[in-house]
Each structure stands twice: as C-alpha cells, then as structure tokens.
C-alpha cells in the first residue's frame, strides 16, 4: 500500500497524505539532485512534498512535479504541495506576495497547504485561502501558547489545519499531540529521522537518532530498518510524517513504512526513548519575543 491511499482529513475538509517528502538540500548537494530525487519519490508513491520559500528549491521541486504530470504519472490533484511563508514577509501586505513568488518559482497555480514557517499572526494567510492560492493554511513551530493565541483570536475565519513541528523518538511531542488532537489540528513531524549531520543547524555532538540501540534492536526484531521503525512509531500515533532522502534505495525504503505494524508494547518502549532533544534548536531565534521553543511545549 502506498501513501497514495494513506491520507488524513484536515479540519477544513481537505486531505493530507500521511507520508511526505522533505525537500531541503544540504549545501554540498547540487540542487539538480533534488529534481532527480523528487521524480524518484513520485515514482515510488510519494504524493506529499514539503517545500518552503526559505529552502530556495521551489523551481526544482516544481519542475520535477510538472514533468511527472506531463509524462502522465500523476495529475496535479494527486499531489499535495506545501510551501511556507518566510519571516521577512510577516507584514500583512507582504504575505500574498511571498506566496505568489513561491507559486511562480514552482510554476503552480495553487499550493495545497501554506504554512507560517515561524510564529506570527494568521490573518493575512486567510486572504490567501480566500483567493484560492492556498487550499489550506497552517502553522509551523508554534508552541501551545502561540496556537492558543491564534485559536482565541476574535474573528478567526479559518483554524490552522496543522502545526508542523520537530518530532521523533527523542522529542515525541506527546503533550503537543494531545493538544492538537483536542483542537482537530494535524501534527506534521519534521526531523523524524534525526535530520542529518550536514544540516548547518544540527549540533554535531547530538546523538545520532538512527544509531539508538533500542531502535536498532527493534528494527532487527521486525526485520525492518531503524528509519522505518522511527517513522512507523510516529504514524501509529496519528502523526503526518516527513522524511527526506536523496538516495533512491532509501526513498523507496521509506515507502515500506505502510507494510508493518508495531505492537502497543513496543510503542510504549519507544515512548520511553523521549528525552526532549531538539536537533533544530532554533538558536537563531534567541532573544526574539516570539521564540517558540522557550515554553515547555
Ligand atoms: P530527516 O528527514 O529527519 O533526515 C534526513 C536524513 O535522513 C538524510 O541524511 C537522509 O540521508 C537520511 N535518511 C533518509 N531516509 C533514510 C533511511 N531510510 N535510512 C537511513 N537514513 C535515511 O531530515 P530533516 O532535516 O528533518 O528534513 C525533513 C524535512 O522536514 C525537510 O526537508 C523539510 O521539508 C522539513 N523541515 C521543516 C522544518 C520547519 O521548520 N518547518 C525544519 C526542518 C525540516 P540520505 O539522503 O543519504 O538518504
């Protein structure tokens, strides 16, 4: 079974595939590799692509998607394309122009999901949905207090459909997940595999998630890989997961996450690995009044 048939309903009636393809490109990798990887991902069954203005790759992802539409593999409506509003466009009158730039780069007419990359008010985003440029709107890296501020805002027209946050076995976000579920907001997880050493913002001294001995032992038990167990753990908790790879074998491997199930006992064992460790510390936000990671969750 591929991610094509594995989708969850968002609170505005649209659906999001539960497995998404991350599109950030490490500095040492040429961007053309992303075109190749995105096409491989579509052929392997990925239908959800997580992009952003900040990543400077929307031309490449758009090109790959359009070429797979042109060769008949998929239709535009089969693809779920996310982009994100970068923080230099937070002034309400700039929000739409950031989205329009993303659409122009990707050469798409609309995004399926437009997310605020780092916390700010939602109001100007609602206009993007009304204009049909974004089917759904959501947020990323919001803590509970910041989500509450949005949800309690008088005149709120559309609730965010998701909060995209770092989430993996070392930062399992159980409180944020409970809160999101109580508000019918999907939790979308990034750094699900512990990110990579070549991401500039990852502390090189942090433990390598996929080397975790419990994860590795469990992978052996299920005859799967540590990456698949790490992704499966999140899926079984009702989380939408992103995974990034430039390697054909691993892109295809990640689709195997739908082929097995962890027992509830093993889910509890994995719960026990939580240590509130962030690979994406958000240090560049230090001192900012909207710093999202200073609250407990
Ligand atoms: P990640 O997906 O946690 O990890 C990527 C690393 O895992 C790569 O080094 C990749 O190496 C490796 N990998 C992938 N599949 C594997 C497998 N089956 N076995 C072993 N290793 C495997 O990385 P991430 O940095 O979080 O990126 C995921 C996506 O989340 C990003 O691309 C972006 O779309 C999103 N994101 C969002 C935010 C935000 O603020 N909203 C922040 C960070 C990331 P190979 O390429 O060699 O396979």
94 lines ligand 1 (CB under 6 A): no
What's the pLDDT at 2?
Answer: 47
Q: Which domains does the chain have, with CATH numbers?
A: 3-275 (3.20.20.100)
Q: 167: which residues sit within 8 A by CB, 6+ positions away? A: 173, 176, 177, 187, 189, 190, 191, 192, 234, 239
Report the nearest-CA residue for atom 36 of ligand 1: 190
Using the atom order of ligand 1, give the atom closest to the CA of residue 199: 25
Mean pLDDT of 88-110: 95
**CA-CA-CA-CA dihedral for 210, 212, 216, 217, to nearest 10:** -170
CA distance 228 to 210: 10
Largest CA distance in the chain: 54
Sign of CA dihedral 194, 199, 201, 204: positive
- Please give the structure tokens belonging to residue 158: 């559309």
Q: How many helices (H) and strands (E) does the chain have?
A: 10, 10
24 lines ligand 1 (CB under 6 A): yes
- Please give the structure tokens belonging to residue 17: 């595939």
How many Å is the Cα radius of gyration of the chain? 18
The model's pLDDT over 141-153, given as tens digits with 9 standing for 90+, comes to 999 999 999 999 9
Report the nearest-CA residue for atom 48 of ligand 1: 245
- Please give the structure tokens belonging to residue 8: 């969850």
Q: Residue 1 pLDDT more than 60?
A: no
Distance 130 CA to ligand 1 centre (A): 32
Give yes or no for a contact between 229 and 222, defined as CB atoms under 8 angstroms apart.
Answer: yes
Distance 118 CA to ligand 1 centre (A): 19
The model's pLDDT over 272-294, given as tens digits with 9 standing for 90+, comes to 999 999 999 888 778 888 888 88
- Please give the structure tokens belonging to residue 30: 């040429």
Q: Residue 29 pLDDT more than 60?
A: yes
Mean pLDDT of 95-122: 95
Which of 23, 55, 216, 243 maximizes ligand 1 atoms within 8 Å of its Cβ, making it the mutation to test the pocket? Answer: 243
Report the nearest-CA residue for atom 44 of ligand 1: 190
CA distance 138 to 153: 15
Range among 193-197, 220-224, 290-294 rated most confident: 220-224
3 lines ligand 1 (CB under 6 A): no
Place of tokens 């309690």: 152
Neighbours of 223 (CB within 10 A): 8
210 lines ligand 1 (CB under 6 A): yes
What's the pLDDT at 5?
Answer: 65
- Please give the structure tokens belonging to residue 129: 């949905």
Give the active site residues.
55
199 lines ligand 1 (CB under 6 A): yes
Task: Report phi then psi at 106, rounded to 5.
Answer: -80, -10
58 lines ligand 1 (CB under 6 A): no
């Amino acid at each position: 079974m591929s991610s094509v048939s594995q989708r969850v309903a968002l609170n505005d009636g649209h659906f999001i595939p539960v497995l998404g393809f991350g599109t950030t490109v490490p500095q040492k990798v040429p961007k053309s590799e992303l075109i190749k990887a995105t096409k491989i991902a579509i052929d392997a069954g990925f239908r959800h692509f997580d992009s952003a203005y900040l990543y400077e790759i929307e031309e490449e992802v758009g090109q790959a998607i359009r070429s797979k539409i042109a060769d008949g593999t998929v239709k535009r409506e089969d693809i779920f394309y996310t982009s994100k509003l970068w923080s230099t466009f937070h002034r309400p009158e700039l929000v739409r122009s950031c989205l329009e730039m993303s659409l122009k780069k990707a050469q798409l007419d609309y995004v399926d999901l437009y997310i605020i990359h780092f916390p700010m008010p939602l109001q100007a985003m609602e206009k993007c949905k009304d204009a049909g440029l974004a089917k759904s709107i959501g947020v990323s890296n919001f803590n509970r207090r910041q989500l509450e501020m949005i949800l309690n805002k008088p005149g709120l027209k559309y609730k965010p459909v998701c909060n995209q946050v770092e989430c993996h076995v070392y930062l399992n976000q159980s409180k944020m997940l409970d809160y999101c579920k109580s508000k019918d907001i999907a939790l979308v997880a990034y750094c699900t595999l512990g990110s990579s050493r070549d991401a500039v913002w990852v502390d090189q001294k942090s433990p390598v998630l996929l080397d975790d001995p419990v994860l590795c032992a469990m992978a052996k038990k299920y005859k799967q890989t540590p990456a698949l167990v790490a992704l499966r753990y999140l899926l079984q908790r009702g989380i939408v997961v992103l995974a990034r790879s430039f390697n054909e074998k691993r892109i295809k491997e990640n689709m195997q996450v739908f082929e097995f199930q962890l027992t509830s006992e093993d889910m509890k064992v994995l719960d026990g690995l939580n240590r509130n460790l962030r690979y994406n510390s958000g240090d560049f936000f230090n001192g900012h009044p909207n710093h999202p990671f200073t609250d407990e969750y």
